Structure 1
Amino acid sequence: MMDSTTHKVYHEHDFDSRQYLEHYFSDKPDMVFGDDILKFPIENLRQLFAVGHIKGDNLIDLSLGSFVHHLYSASEFFENIIVLKINNRCIMELKRWVDERTGAFYWGHTSTLHQETEENSDQLGDSEGKVRSAIQHVVKCDLEKENVTEPLVLPPADCIISDCLLDVISKDQDDYIRYLRKFSKLLKPGGHLLLFGALDTTYFIVGKDKFHVFTYDENFARKALVGEGFIIDDCKVQERTVVSDLIDYKGVIFIAAHKEK
């Protein structure tokens, strides 16, 4: 195996967004990440949004790759979803699905999974259609800029969902906290941050490429959020259920927090 100095970095090197989806999110029989990567976010977000406390006008999605299954529940409580992506290939892949173009990645299995977790699944209708309708913009962002969507100025968000992006763009603890601060600036006072991550991870593989992942534990994530002015409302950790050499995480984490007013 390559050592960490040879790992590619998600936002600095070429990232094959389609191959990433095929490895970690497909409905193929050999895709082993169903419980940890598909079911874990779908179930936790369904339970959280069902309480009814988190809703509003604008939700920002800042996540790794171009997956959509984590937005099913959000699309029932937010009319406007703005998706921010660092990589052009991720933007093209997501837009292909939003526009229902030929060759778009198939998400039907995750839509079914979402409906199976709902008590009133017969009333859900078209989960994918709701997400497509809610996604108002897919925007290129640069987290090194003061205004990450320059020249576009976004209205402060009521909620941000971020799935594993901090894990892959952060090279160390200082980076993680610096990017977390950038996320916070996109939120209204009192706004909610819904954060997913992979614990104790060092790499993930896409095709022939091995990518860096910042290694951290639950305690660090909690301290980082509190240090940046967030109040943690809920935290769930699930130990790894997967046998695969594609990624070496030990568990997955979900933290729901809100920004102090």
Structure 2
Amino acid sequence: MEPVSNKLYHVHGFHSRNLLDTYFSSKPEMPFTHEAFMYPMEKFHNAFSSGDFRGDVLIDISTGPIIHHLYAALKYFREIILLKPSDHCIVELKKWTDSRTGAFDWSHTSILATELAGESDQCEEKEIGLRAAIKHVVKFNLNQENLTGSIGLPQADCLVFCFILGSTSKDLEEFGRNFKKFSKLLKPGGRIMYYGILNCTFYMVGGEKFNHCKYNESDFRSVLSNEGFVITHLEVSQRKAESDLIDFDSVMFCTAYKEQKI
């Protein structure tokens, strides 16, 4: 395979606020409303509300300082741990978790979260609850055998992936290796939720072009099967956004559990 010429998120990094403004803002001209928060928030809400995902620890591994897909987890997990690959991303995220001046405004997603939960008058409570539930924000390094170095993490009852595997993998082979590394954070029999974009090769942030591993639904099913995961739900939604900033054709939401060896 030819070497990747575009930048890699976890190696080169990008300005986190540029990512949020481009793909996750409430601006009327922002084209990714369906793919960035309307569709995934509905799917995460439905999955958590099923009652099949609960426990002590949820570990989230997502691209950039995003948090909006986690509102629905509050009732089902005692603590949430976020893993991020760069200091810049962690600083941007902590602006929000610490309610600092200049933090990104996620109120458009907390409004949606309350609507999904039938609690339309509790937007502020949703944000306060999520801030309190996020107990740790930890840096990870995919080049290390232990992803978080000397920082020990409790094994998770649930792992949540949002965009991260595609943006941290040069190709499908590395995609599988990275998934295997992350899945070691999961308890035996634990569950995962996955949200990602299909058939994407690049995305733009701040005028710079970043690599995205191209994979389809069949590729993804094979990766999970190879690591002993059983898919319980998978659905694909075709792209609605009109923009040259990114070249995916659809988005995918999946839930699965790790088979326990007898």
Which TM bucket (shorter chain)?
over 0.9
The Cα shift of 1:187 comes to: 0.2
- 1:164-183 superposed matches below 5 A: 164-183=163-182
Distance 2:246 2:87 in 1: 23
Amino acid at match of 1:36: E
Answer yes or no: is 1:49 the counterpart of 2:45. Answer: no
- 1:12-161 superposed matches below 5 A: 12-121=11-120, 126-161=125-160
User: Is the contact made by 1:240 and 1:251 (CA closer than 8 Å) also made in structure 2?
Assistant: yes
What is the match of residue 204 of structure 2? 205
TM-score (norm 2): 0.95
Answer yes or no: is 1:216 the counterpart of 2:211. Answer: no
Moved >3 Å (runs of 4+): 3-6, 119-125
Q: How many residues align?
A: 259
What is the match of residue 8 of structure 1? 7
User: Is the contact made by 2:24 and 2:32 (CA closer than 8 Å) also made in structure 1?
Assistant: yes
The Cα shift of 1:14 comes to: 3.2
Distance 2:78 2:121 in 1: 21
User: Is the contact made by 1:231 and 1:260 (CA closer than 8 Å) also made in structure 2?
Assistant: yes
Q: Which is worse superposed, 123-132 or 197-206? A: 123-132
What's the secondary structure of 1:6's corresponding residue? coil
The Cα shift of 1:21 comes to: 0.2
Gaps in structure 2 of 5+ consecutive residues: none
Q: Which is worse superposed, 110-119 or 76-85? A: 110-119
Distance 1:203 1:30 in 2: 21
Distance 1:156 1:6 in 2: 36
What's the secondary structure of 2:137's corresponding residue? strand
Query: Identity over aligned residues, as a percent?
Result: 45
Distance 1:39 1:260 in 2: 31
What is the match of residue 183 of structure 2? 184
Distance 2:121 2:29 in 1: 30
Distance 1:120 1:257 in 2: 28
Gaps in structure 1 of 5+ consecutive residues: none
TM-score (norm 1): 0.96
What's the secondary structure of 1:93's corresponding residue? helix
Distance 1:92 1:154 in 2: 20
What's the secondary structure of 2:59's corresponding residue? strand
The Cα shift of 1:147 comes to: 1.2
